[in-house]
Structure 1
Amino acid sequence: MKEAILGYDVNTHGVEACCDDVFKALQQPGKRWLACFNPHSYAVSLGDQGFVSALKAADWLVADGVGVVLASRMLGGDIADRVTGSDVFFGLQRRMNAVGGMKVFFLGASEETLADIRGRMARDYPNIELAGTYSPPFKDAYTRAELDEMIAAVNAVKPDVLWVGMTAPKQEKWIHDNLLALDVKFAGAVGAVFDFYTGRVKRSHPLFQRMGLEWLPRLLQQPRRLWRRMFVSAPVFVFHVLRQRVRS
């Protein structure tokens, strides 16, 4: 199920139902992908038509942010809980590990982070094959040769799942632009999950998550990176939600 929020069709499923849905899709033909929707991604999309196209093309656009949950309530929608990139990552990994015989690929982050992921995957998910990792250049745009190299690295091992962690909006646009060329069943744009998983960035305490304040400890950890999300993007999102409510 989906509902319209500011022109985007956002999934209404909770965490477990969403992960079940994605896992079932792995058993079916076709390629699908997931992106996260939050106040910051919405604000960024206002000035990036490529990002708009990518978010609207995602098979699952999940409510990654308490602001989206509150917006749904204000607009009379049905979204009851957040579904973060971390929720999808860990939920899908657990399901794949339980059945065994599936392959994943990690695209993004530094070589050091990917090395940590390789070590953790072997311990945490022994029944999942880590088919490969790739650290792309840290730049805003890639050349055709660089894109071809990334695609070739993924296709050489034919993973079931491709986790992409390049930060928004680059990761969503990358998947949208290259999905047809990729030999994968599912791709997830999961941003900071690579750093959360390795412990390089600490996810907020579950109490803050339940209170809808996960952003606060993260803001204190990374103020230069996250201040714009809280003090620019969030007010823009709230204003546009209020405007949609008045007009509806």
Structure 2
Amino acid sequence: MQKFSTVPLSDYSILSCQLDELKFDSKCVINTVNQYSYVIAEKDKEFKDALSNSDILLPDGVGIVAAVKFLNKQDIKKIAGADVHSYFLNKLNAVNGSCFYLGSSEVTLAKIKEKMSREFPNIRVGTYSPPFKSSFSKEDTDKMVEVVNQFRPDVLFVGMTAPKQEVWTHLNKDRLEVGAICAIGAVFDFYAETISRPSKFWIDLGLEWFIRLVKEPRRMAKRYVVYGPAFVWMLLRSKLNQSLLKGAQA
């Protein structure tokens, strides 16, 4: 598989190039990391393994961008799941490609297909809504792999919320007959417009997180109010360790 330029962040290699370098002609697993998933992964080995073994790990959040700057003095740009979704749809539409949406509800998937037929008429689209449960049985997983492989998409979009989607993809990637595999969670609802994403104005200001917090305080409060400070503490600890290591080597 093609190698991409990355920057280190703890145990992860974060993509530092632009989306236009990404391809879907060979299998690769694309995940995203933000401050919330970064903190959660420190307590969840399966999740951390899934993220650290990504072929491509996108910096999905101003927190990750700031962390790379703080620890490594390198500038990178935020690339959200919605960005990679849009990028691949435009690429696929231009070449009469195919994609498959695995996850979410039948209602959301129907809205996605209807919108795709208008905006990207050249793309062949498949969908499957798996059972809504905290963990999947072997039979559940076998069915999911079967329906995806029958379709054989160029790009598989997985939307089952983190960390379930990343762990499932990591455990089953070798069984899937697909090109790129993108775990993009909330993008299913953003694209279907069952949940509205903040406008480009707020995204460009780096305040998408704040608008989501205002709109969905009950769901987002813990993510930003609790895990935000935990993320900052981890960065300060990493910076201290860096300084101590440099001092020992001097």
> TM-score, normalization: structure 1?
0.93
Structure of higher RCO (CA pairs closer than 8 Å, 6+ residues apart)? 1
Other-structure match for 2:145: 151
The alignment of Structure 1 onto Structure 2 pairs a total of residues equal to 238
Q: Which amino acid aligns with 1:73?
A: K
Corresponding residue to 2:225 among 195, 208, 231: 231
Does residue 1:12 correspond to 2:12, yes or no? no
Aligned-residue identity in percent? 39
Asked whether the equivalents of residues 3 and 77 of structure 1 are also in contact (C-alpha less than 8 Å), the reply is no
Does residue 1:22 correspond to 2:22, yes or no? yes
Q: Which runs of 5+ in 1 are unaligned?
A: none
Task: Deviation per CA, 1:9-66: give whole Å up to 9, x if none.
Answer: 11112xxx22x2322xx23x4x211101110001111211000100011111010000
Does residue 1:107 correspond to 2:111, yes or no? no
State the Cα distance separating 1:115 from its structure 2 match: 0.4
Corresponding residue to 2:173 among 170, 179, 197: 179
Comparing 120-129 with 72-81, greater Cα deviation is found at 72-81
User: Secondary structure at 2:161's aligned position in 1?
Assistant: coil
Corresponding residue to 1:41 among 37, 45, 54: 37
Asked whether the equivalents of residues 6 and 241 of structure 1 are also in contact (C-alpha less than 8 Å), the reply is no
Other-structure match for 1:74: 70
Distance 1:104 1:9 in 2: 26
User: Secondary structure at 2:92's aligned position in 1?
Assistant: helix
Q: Which amino acid aligns with 1:165?
A: G
Task: Deviation per CA, 1:99-127: give whole Å up to 9, x if none.
Answer: 22x11100000000000011011111111
Distance 1:92 1:79 in 2: 24
Deviant stretches of 4+, over 3 Å:
none
Distance 1:79 1:173 in 2: 29
Distance 2:73 2:169 in 1: 28
State the Cα distance separating 1:181 from its structure 2 match: 0.5
User: Secondary structure at 1:104's aligned position in 2?
Assistant: strand
Other-structure match for 2:200: 206
User: Secondary structure at 1:202's aligned position in 2?
Assistant: coil
Asked whether the equivalents of residues 98 and 127 of structure 1 are also in contact (C-alpha less than 8 Å), the reply is yes
> TM-score, normalization: structure 2?
0.92
State the Cα distance separating 1:205 from its structure 2 match: 1.6
Asked whether the equivalents of residues 62 and 83 of structure 1 are also in contact (C-alpha less than 8 Å), the reply is yes
User: Secondary structure at 1:138's aligned position in 2?
Assistant: coil
Other-structure match for 1:160: 154
Other-structure match for 2:82: 86
